[in-house]
Structure formats: C-alpha cells, structure tokens
Amino acid sequence: MQFLHTCLNVADADRSVEWYTEQLGFEFSWEFETADGETRNRYVADENGVELQLSETRGVTPEDHGETWDHLAVGVEDVDAAFAEIEHHGVVKEPGDQPEAGARTAFVKDPDGHVVELIQPLED
C-alpha cells in the first residue's frame, strides 16, 4: 500500500488552494466535482507528490473540529481484494467505481473510527 492523500473538508476550496500554494509552497495538481455537482475537490501536492484533498460541499461549512478532517487515502492494487482482506472496524462505503475521480474506491474505519479510503485507478 502507498499513502496517497489526506482529505480536509473546507468552506471554500479555491481559497484553501490559494492559501496552501501561496503560504506553504504546495503546487495545484488536479480537481474534480462529484456527478451531482454538490462537492468540489481540489488537490495540492508537496514537493514529493503527496497530495492534500480540499473538499468543498455546497451549503456545508465545517466549523466543528470533528467535521474538518475527513479521511486518509491509500493506494491499493485491488480495492475489492483489499476490502475483503482488511480487518476493519466498520464499513463507510462498499467498493464502487468513482468515474469522476478515475478510481474504484471503498471506505472503512480504523480501530479509532478514522475513515480510510482505499483507491485503485480505473482502467481506461
């Protein structure tokens, strides 16, 4: 497995991209919106290519500490196999294709309830 990114829920993705690029020297890397258009995702990366996902959902302002951090993402060769093998502590989302993001994903919880996203690139 490989660490890919951490997702932060933000009130304004563009403002957050500006802050991370101008203040911390990250580079903008890519973006996508969910199929329903409700959530905008912008990614910035450090000099090693590790990404930070800045996720803005229409009408939601993360104010409580528990709402600001969303999940940790790791790359796997096969989402379905990893999902079946991992000893998780709760299923957040079963494996499924996310064409907007170009990936097949699943979400599980770790022993402390933190959400971990498993990601496998979709084949072209």
| Catalytic site includes residue 56 | no
38 contacts: CB under 8 Å, gap ≥ 6? 57, 58
From 27, 31, 117, 123, the catalytic residue? 117
Token pair belonging to 42: 């912008």
Cα atoms in the 13 Å half-sphere on the side-chain side of 62: 18
Tell me which residues are annotated as active site: 117
